Amino acid sequence: MKIVVLAGGTSTEREISIVSGTMVCKALRSKGHEAILADVFCGIGAEQVDEALFAAEDYDVDAAAAYMRSFDEHLETMIRERREFFGPHILELCQIADVVFLALHGANGEDGKVQAAFDLFGIPYTGTGYLSSAIAMDKSMTKQFFRAHQVPTPGGVTLSRTDEVRDPASLGLELPLVVKPCCGGSSVGVYIAHTMEEYDQALENAFAYEPQVIVEEYIQGREFSVGVVDGKAYPIIEIAPIEGFYDYVNKYKAGSTIETCPAELSGEQTRRMQEYAEAGAAALGIMNYCRLDFMMREDGRMYCLEANTLPGMTPTSLLPQEAKVLGMDYPELCEHLIELSMRKWKG
């Protein structure tokens, strides 16, 4: 198949997306596919776009990734000066491809905007559709859907920059609290506040990312993640950071966490968490694949935190580890995700 692996973009998760995209592209080429890596915002360096780009035997994935990173220091200027999101030749290139593998993470990639545009252009892509992408990206909306479908989630509220009432007691909450951007990803801008001073600083920091933030109860306990692929939960993985919590650094720095898959849970706990994961994905209308994050208290109570509609595919990412337990290696997983997603376009 001719496949464009679309990565990069303009979000705070740009670098993680490039790493994911590089690995996916190499994996697909190892399976015989004509896969090329492209930056959704910065475009590709080719003067002309045609099918010959896919067939090039000397295609260098690492060189393509280096080209993407060459824009990093100028990215903010490009964002300010450009009105159009899609980079040079990107739409043209994606229309030639059989499918686009979305290795995008965060805003303008995982939030449904690219998916909606591709639907209009008739471009097949991996993952779920635009509406479920948008709902899952918005943590406030996600909580509402979880509650409506009896998926347990931490109590909390959404605050805007203009809201005057921010005191936890007035919001029906008490310290410690988690403060995070409403539509962020990879734990960027997530803070745990144990004191009012920390809480005020966390709000200031989180509002620097977005105009809306989530303030929710802090769940002390063990952290887990569950992939849901084709409506069925994958083996549960437990994440135990060596220091701190599962923030941006601990997610992507090798050796910073202890990850156990399958997680050491009782049969009943495993069944219940997997059922919650499947119910959470269904509540948000997510098709094909996603990953849901959980916390579990010492007494066994479970809370679904959020859903990721385009899970990371880096060397330390969780979904590939879960698939490996099922006997599926990384290239096979990439192909499987494409096959699931193509059903929408073949049907």
What are the pLDDT digits (tens) for 16-74? 999 999 999 999 999 999 999 999 999 998 878 899 899 888 899 999 999 999 999 99
What was the pLDDT predicted at 12? Answer: 86
Pick the more confident residue, 47 or 216.
216
What was the pLDDT predicted at 131? Answer: 97
Please identify which residue in the block is written with the tokens 């988690």.
178
How far is residue 93's CA from residue 159's CA, in Å, rounded to a whole number?
41
How far is residue 30's CA from residue 7's CA, in Å, rounded to a whole number?
19
What was the pLDDT predicted at 46? Answer: 81
User: What percent of the chain is predicted at pLDDT more than 70?
Assistant: 94
List the single range of 205-214, 226-235, 297-306 with lowest mean pLDDT: 205-214
Region of 223 (left: φ > 0; alpha: ψ -120 to 50; beta: rest) is beta
Interval 323-331 mean pLDDT = 96
How far is residue 113's CA from residue 139's CA, in Å, rounded to a whole number?
17
How far is residue 310's CA from residue 312's CA, in Å, rounded to a whole number?
7
pTM above 0.85, yes or no: yes
The mean pLDDT value of the chain amounts to: 92
Please identify which residue in the block is written with the tokens 């059903």.
343
The confidence band for 252, taking pLDDT boundaries of 50, 70 and 90, is: very low
Work out the end-to-end distance of the chain between its first and last CA atoms, rounded to an integer number of angstroms: 18
307 and 300 in contact (C-beta within 8 Å)?
Answer: no
Interval 239-247 mean pLDDT = 66
At residue 177, what are phi and psi to the nearest 5 degrees?
-135, 155
Interval 137-164 mean pLDDT = 93
Please identify which residue in the block is written with the tokens 């099922």.
326
Contacts within 8 Å (CB) and 24+ apart, 204-211: 205/179, 206/179, 206/180, 206/181, 207/161, 209/12, 209/181, 209/184, 210/181, 210/182, 210/183, 210/184, 211/160, 211/161
How far is residue 224's CA from residue 118's CA, in Å, rounded to a whole number?
33
What was the pLDDT predicted at 187? Answer: 57
